[in-house]
Homo-oligomer: A and B are copies of this chain.
Amino acid sequence: MDSEVARERALDAAERLFYGRGVQAVGMDDVRRTSGVSLKRLYQLFPAKEQLVVAYLDRRDARWRGELARYVDRHEGAGPRILAVFDWLGQWFAEPDFRGCAWLNVYGELGATSSRVAERVRAHKGAFRDFLDGLTADAQLPAAVGGQLFLLAEGAMVTAGVTGGTEPARQAREVARVLLGADGAGLPAPDAPAVSPPSATP
């Protein structure tokens, strides 16, 4: 088996298991069983479990932000693009295996223990924050709105993770709409819960 496909299989298994059950509840042996990659190979690719966790977070980060950006890009107009972020979150929350924000979960689990993991979480959240700041600037809204949208999105993720519904996305979207309107961004229609075909699995 090619080293590259072994790596991918290992990461696939790690992601499914770590996200679904938590990092500490999953042993390296579980990853081996699920991935079919031998322990020896696993330790050649990732010399310690922490590195497997970091690699999992990194790969998921790239995919998560890529899919969000693609979804947002399908929308026209600065205001609707901001609202599309929350529509995308709603789709994510509705996925059957949704179990909250992977980064917040591992932060709760390892943030106090592993500085490397904590750093990745901060990097991911920082990148998401930057993304929202960009959308905010495009909409010619005050810079402060970027941070406000970020808080809304984080609150929605956390709440959806704990309570397990999709309403938090709608509630956050509603507040975002108020923030957009309150500062007079050019919004075509104040309602219309977004179009575009659903796909993607963040």
Contact = CB atoms under 8 A, between A and B. Distances in A.
A163 B103 CA distance: 13
Contacts of A79: none
A42 interface: no
A22 B23 CA distance: 14
A166 to B, nearest CB: 13
Q: Interface residues of A: mostly helix, strand, loop or mixed?
A: helix
A145 to B, nearest CB: 9
Contact of A175 (B109, B148, B163): B148
Copies in the complex: 2
A116 interface: no
Contacts of A125: 159, 162-163
Interface string A144-181: 10011011111110110111000110011011001100
Contacts of A106: 108
A153 B148 CA distance: 11
Interface of A: 20-22, 24-25, 99-100, 104-113, 121-122, 125, 144, 147-148, 150-156, 158-159, 161-163, 167-168, 171-172, 174-175, 178-179, 182
